């Protein structure tokens, strides 16, 4: 399975969607980004609490600039358009899963 790529136009709708949205800012030439891709693909199958997308910073530098992306990969978790978490650099799979579960649990408690 492939992670859907967002454009400048589709980014706003994806980030503002109800529930959790995880968006990775990456580039095709970035080795850590390539290593993260299979992790995100697994999470997209396992974690039903978040939609997962990618943004190619080479194609959409305006989005990278708007969100202060200085290193890659940078992963944001959004809820209804609001950024909740920012993870910079490659992390192990449990780190991403924990962020999703933490915020999914917060939503069910509120």
**pLDDT confidence of residue 14:** 96
29 vs 14: CA distance, rounded Å: 24
14 is catalytic: no
pLDDT for the residue numbered 1? 56
- pLDDT averaged per 10 residues, the chain (length 110): 89 94 97 96 92 97 95 96 96 97 75
* Residue 33 is a catalytic residue: yes
Domains of the chain: 8-109 (3.40.30.10)
What does the pLDDT read at residue 106?
Answer: 80
Helix, strand, coil share (%) of the chain residues, nearest 5: 45, 25, 30
- Among residues 15, 22, 33, 39, which one is catalytic? 33
Helix (H) or strand (E) holding 14: helix 8-16
Distance CA 98, CA 59 (A): 29
Name the pTM for this structure: 0.93
Q: How many CB atoms lie within 10 A of CB 92?
A: 9
Looking at residue 105, its pLDDT comes to 86
């Amino acid at each position: 399975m492939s992670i859907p790529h967002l454009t400048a136009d589709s980014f706003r709708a994806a980030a503002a969607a109800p529930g959790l949205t995880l968006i990775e800012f990456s580039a095709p030439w970035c080795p850590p980004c390539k290593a993260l891709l299979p992790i995100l693909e697994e999470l997209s199958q396992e974690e039903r609490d978040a939609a997962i997308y990618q943004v190619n910073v080479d194609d959409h530098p305006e989005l990278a600039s708007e969100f202060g992306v200085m290193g890659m990969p940078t992963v944001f978790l959004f809820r209804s358009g609001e950024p909740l978490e920012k993870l910079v650099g490659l992390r192990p799979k449990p780190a991403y899963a924990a962020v999703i579960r933490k915020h999914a649990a917060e939503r069910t408690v509120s």
